[in-house]
Amino acid sequence: MRLDLVVKNGKVVTESDTFTADIGIKGKKIVKIAQEIDDDAEETIDAKGKYVMPGVIDAHTHLHMPFMGSHSVDNYKTGTIAAACGGVTSVIDYDVQQEGETLHEAVERKKKTAFDQGVAIDFSLHPGVTQWGQETIDEIPDLIKNGVPSFKVFTVYGAWQVKNETLLKLLDVTKRYGGLVNVHAENDDIIQMLNKKFEEEGTLDPLHHALSHPPEAEKEAVERLINLTNYMDSRLYIVHLSSKMGLEAIKHAQTQGTNIMCETCPQYLFLSTDNFKEPNFEGAKYVMSPPPREKEDQEALWTGLKFGFVKTIATDHCPFNFNKEKQNGKDDYKKIPNGAPGIETSLMLMYSEGVAKGRITINDLVRIMCTNPAKIFGMQDKGSIAIGKDADIVVYDPDAKWTMSIDKLHMNVDYTPYEGMPITGKPEVTISKGRVVARDGEFVGDTKWGEFVKRHLDY
Ligand code: DUC
Ligand code: ZN
Ligand code: ZN
């Protein structure tokens, strides 16, 4: 068979195995995996000494999202170019329903934005439910049928804050039709009470953002969500889990049989409250909700990842420039747009600090960044190296040594929270559906290449 691309001699990694093999690609698919492929091919990539792993699925991004008076500053074009350079081959973006908009309209609006701006890799959407009428609930079966099976709600953020009544209806309809509810879990009353206290005391620096979002607020919301999920005999996915307390509640619920899953993000493994104390307002760079916490929380989350209580790593990529949008909160942390960049750096951080330092194996990394996101969110053609899957592949150099710096990255933002961090390993080639889209840290793809992926949950 004449092939389009062969990746030769690499160490192929799946969630369960690592083996030396050649991979044959025809069109957008993996068509052959063998000890040796000697078919003719348009192009051959020699991956000797490199890992050949599935492309990362970042199941939590906010591209061009209107939020706190600005838009997150990576649009679909810049964000997906950066993603490709970082070894990411699919994103599932959060798309919040605007006032008066149906969920169907929200999905179509965001798809149009993506195709108008340009999108370099495949994408899908989790619509955020913010309009509470029964008509919104009634839209859900049709969306699930048409490939949009996961829905986001927030327990915080003013008008976006979900009522228990809506949540119960969402748990019910997603259970009946094969969907999933994703939740940002923090207790808003605790946060508002502390905001008021710090306002009265005049302590409005970035550190007080972290102090106004204590781990108890996460724990309370997580426990409530567990109770509601149990009561409805449904299932639920908690996004960006940040605390040991929240994780303890989830672990307990999982061992009791509750179908509750959670993701965490690199920022909760690598950053801490100390970052908020950086001088010259630099703490604003880390203002996100929930905030990074303490060493013991980081350690608990690593253990949770290792042993499967935390199912996925995603980034919550929601960048704002330090020298621009973040300055809106110079005098009041509540006006600092919440969010940080991460779409390009997650694989490099997780490899360097996770695999190279022995906290997780390379197979664990593939499970939490590729295979589990594909399974949980219903991307059946993605997430593993197997015949018939989309040829979404990263050739990863495990030995590269370099220093993280915004100058070397492609995200459309003026900082990375990980500036100066020594890094081991680097993506050498990123292949999206059979086509090389990034090589040696540079984008070589096409921003018309990304397609909208219809998803179906089969569990
Ligand atoms: N948290 C953030 O920090 N940014 C975007 C939305 C969110 O929940
Ligand atoms: Zn959130
Ligand atoms: Zn988010």
| 302-324: pLDDT as tens digits | 999 999 999 999 999 999 999 99
Query: Using CA atoms, how far apart are residues 405 and 162, in angstroms rounded to an integer?
Result: 38
The ligand 1 atom nearest the CA atom of 62: 5
Query: What was the pLDDT predicted at 95?
Result: 84
Distance 440 CA to ligand 3 centre (A): 29
3-53+383-443 sits in which CATH class? mainly beta
Is the pLDDT at 31 greater than 90, yes or no?
yes
Query: Using CA atoms, how far apart are residues 228 and 316, in angstroms rounded to an integer?
Result: 25
Residues of the chain with CATH 2.30.40.10: 3-53+383-443
Is the pLDDT at 249 greater than 90, yes or no?
yes
Query: Using CA atoms, how far apart are residues 141 and 7, in angstroms rounded to an integer?
Result: 41
The ligand 1 atom nearest the CA atom of 340: 3
Residues of the chain with CATH 3.20.20.140: 55-377
Is the pLDDT at 79 greater than 90, yes or no?
yes
**Interval 108-133 mean pLDDT:** 97
What rounded mean pLDDT belongs to the chain?
A: 98
Encoding tokens for residue 248?
């303890």
Choosing from 267, 318, 320, 336 the residue with most ligand 1 atoms within 8 A of its CB, the one to mutate for a pocket test is 318
Q: From the CB of 326, is ligand 1 less than 6 Å away?
A: no
Give the number of residues written for the chain: 459
Query: What was the pLDDT predicted at 259?
Result: 98
Q: Compute CA distances 217 → 105, 114, 185, 224, whole Å.
A: 33, 34, 8, 11
Q: From the CB of 290, is ligand 1 less than 6 Å away?
A: no
Query: What was the pLDDT predicted at 46?
Result: 98
Distance 152 CA to ligand 3 centre (A): 9
| 402-434: pLDDT as tens digits | 999 999 999 999 999 999 999 999 999 999 999
Distance 318 CA to ligand 1 centre (A): 7
Query: What was the pLDDT predicted at 381?
Result: 98
The ligand 1 atom nearest the CA atom of 338: 3
**Interval 65-74 mean pLDDT:** 94
Homologous superfamily of domain range 55-377: Metal-dependent hydrolases (3.20.20.140)
Burial class (CB within 10 angstroms; exposed 0-12, middle 13-18, buried 19+) of 32 = middle
65-74, 247-256, 324-333, 372-381: least confidently modelled range: 65-74
**Interval 273-293 mean pLDDT:** 98
**Interval 428-452 mean pLDDT:** 98
Query: What was the pLDDT predicted at 361?
Result: 98
Choosing from 60, 61, 65, 67 the residue with most ligand 1 atoms within 8 A of its CB, the one to mutate for a pocket test is 67
| Cβ neighbour number for residue 196 with a 10 Å cutoff | 11
Query: What was the pLDDT predicted at 39?
Result: 97
| 161-202: pLDDT as tens digits | 999 999 999 999 999 999 999 999 999 999 999 999 999 999
- Distant-in-sequence, close-in-space partners of 189: CB < 8 Å, separation ≥ 6: none
Distance 35 CA to ligand 3 centre (A): 42
Query: What was the pLDDT predicted at 141?
Result: 98
Pick the residue whose CA is nearest to atom 1 on ligand 1: 289
Query: What was the pLDDT predicted at 398?
Result: 98
